[in-house]
Amino acid sequence: MGLFSFRQEIAIDLGTANTIIICNDQVVVDEPSVVAISVADNQMVAVGRKAQQMIGKGGNVIRTVRPLQDGVIADFYACEMMIRGMIRMIPKQSRFFAPSIKMVICIPSGSTEVEIRAVRDSSEHAGGRDVYMIYEPMAAAIGMGIDVESPEGCMIVDIGGGTTEIAVISLGGIVSNKSIKIAGDDFNADIIEYMGRMHNMRIDEPTAERIKIAVGSALPELDEPLDDYIVVGPNKVTALPMKVPVSYQEIAHCLDKSMVKIENAVLQALEATPPELYADIVRRGIFLAGGGALLHGLAKRLTDKITIPFHVAEDPLRAVARGTGISLKNCQNFAFLIR
């Protein structure tokens, strides 16, 4: 959009864990989906990374909220404030003189009419004039450079923060899909529970996230072993400080139950796939996107279990955002966008 544009066009990947905004083909905002709200007057204090740093530290003065839970809006007011705050974070040269905002927002493929309406209302209240929506697996496929309008079938497994979206796409539509509420947040919860049970240490979600990034693994044996990660925290009983080295083998063990649920969901989605498209998927492989795709050894584990090759997208964290940005430029041509 030029200097005198009166129409702002933005694509938003509104995720449970992170929100990414694309404007003029550039990622202009990439922040955690967190908002900090003053308890006294219910006004926004901070959004994104600044709000994330306040988690567990605000006492009775500031409450930190993650407006999206399990891929859907759990706090309507907080979500609206978060979208507004993140739109304000767009660099000024990208939003100069733009009273009218056109948005494309991605949503989980299993969204109900009520959940779709909640996203639309939040977006319109935050300043969106024309609001389009696209399903996350479709956006992920477009972001990976797959021709979604071709008659060939492809399967996308998008492991986000709140949901894992599994979809078979062909001829510009989702032929079959499976959405389960097992994803990055559940991995964090597994790690928190494991650290308490096995090491008697109390940790919170940000620490679990750091452990997951450092030594998160889907396999107990990796070709390139990871160094142990040192976790510092209080003992659950005595509250004395502890230092515990955590290995990737331990994390692979504690994430195993969640991994099995994802494997079963992929198998169920394959079961519902028409035979002609099934043959295409076997030939092309299955594509992994989302932050969960960064777990070490995940593609190998799924390939060994399901005996179909799994391919991790280039920059899987931003695959959905890239696809949403491409959809923004092709609103008139993509019939699968939801108005």
User: pLDDT by residue (tens digit) across 244-288?
Assistant: 999 999 999 999 999 999 999 999 999 999 999 999 999 999 999
- What secondary structure does DSSP assign to 100-123, as a single string? EEEEEEEE-TT--HHHHHHHHHHH
The whole-number pLDDT of residue 99 equals 56
Domains of the chain: total? 3
Q: Are residues 123 and 27 in the same domain?
A: yes
Average pLDDT over residues 305-330: 92
pLDDT-based confidence at residue 93 (cuts at 50, 70, 90):
low
Q: Are residues 110 and 234 in the same domain?
A: no
Q: Are residues 105 and 133 in the same domain?
A: yes
Q: Are residues 178 and 266 in the same domain?
A: yes
- 274 is in which domain, residue-wise? 148-182+256-313
Residue 49 in any domain: the answer is no
Q: How far apart, in whole angstroms, are the C-alpha atoms of residue 272 and residue 60?
A: 50
Q: Are residues 116 and 237 in the same domain?
A: no
CATH number of the domain where residue 234 is located: 3.90.640.10
pLDDT-based confidence at residue 331 (cuts at 50, 70, 90):
confident
DSSP 8-state class, residue 176: E
What would the pLDDT profile of 24-77 be if each residue is shown by its tens digit? Answer: 888 999 999 999 999 888 899 999 999 988 887 777 889 999 998 887 888 888
Residue 217 in any domain: the answer is yes
Q: Are residues 247 and 260 in the same domain?
A: no
How many other CB atoms are found less than 10 A from the CB of residue 117? 12
The whole-number pLDDT of residue 119 equals 86
Residue 223 in any domain: the answer is yes
The one-letter amino acid at 338: I
Helix, strand or coil for residue 159? strand
Residue 56 in any domain: the answer is no
Q: Are residues 134 and 166 in the same domain?
A: no
The whole-number pLDDT of residue 6 equals 58
Q: Are 154 and 177 in contact (CB under 8 A)?
A: no
Residues in CB range of 237: below 8 A, 6 or more apart: 200
pLDDT-based confidence at residue 147 (cuts at 50, 70, 90):
very high
Q: Are residues 110 and 122 in the same domain?
A: yes
CATH number of the domain where residue 114 is located: 3.30.420.40
The end-to-end CA distance of the chain, in Å, is: 22
Least confident segment among 112-116, 261-265, 279-283, 305-309? 112-116
The whole-number pLDDT of residue 298 equals 96
Average pLDDT over residues 89-100: 63
Percent of the chain scored above 90 by pLDDT? 62
Q: Are residues 237 and 277 in the same domain?
A: no
Residue 280 in any domain: the answer is yes
Average pLDDT, the chain: 89
Mode of pairing for the β-strands spanning 72-73 and 68-69: antiparallel
Q: Are residues 107 and 13 in the same domain?
A: yes
Q: Are residues 175 and 213 in the same domain?
A: no
- What secondary structure does DSSP assign to 214-258, as a single string? HH-BS-SS-SSPPPPEEEEEEBTTT--EEEEEE-HHHHHHHTHHH
Per-residue pLDDT at 140 exceeds 70: yes
Residues in CB range of 196: below 8 A, 6 or more apart: 202, 203, 236
**Of 144, 87, 92, which Cα lies nearest the Cα of 326?**
144
Q: Are residues 275 and 325 in the same domain?
A: no
Residue 125 in any domain: the answer is yes
DSSP 8-state class, residue 302: H
Average pLDDT over residues 182-194: 95
Residues in CB range of 116: below 8 A, 6 or more apart: 107, 133, 338
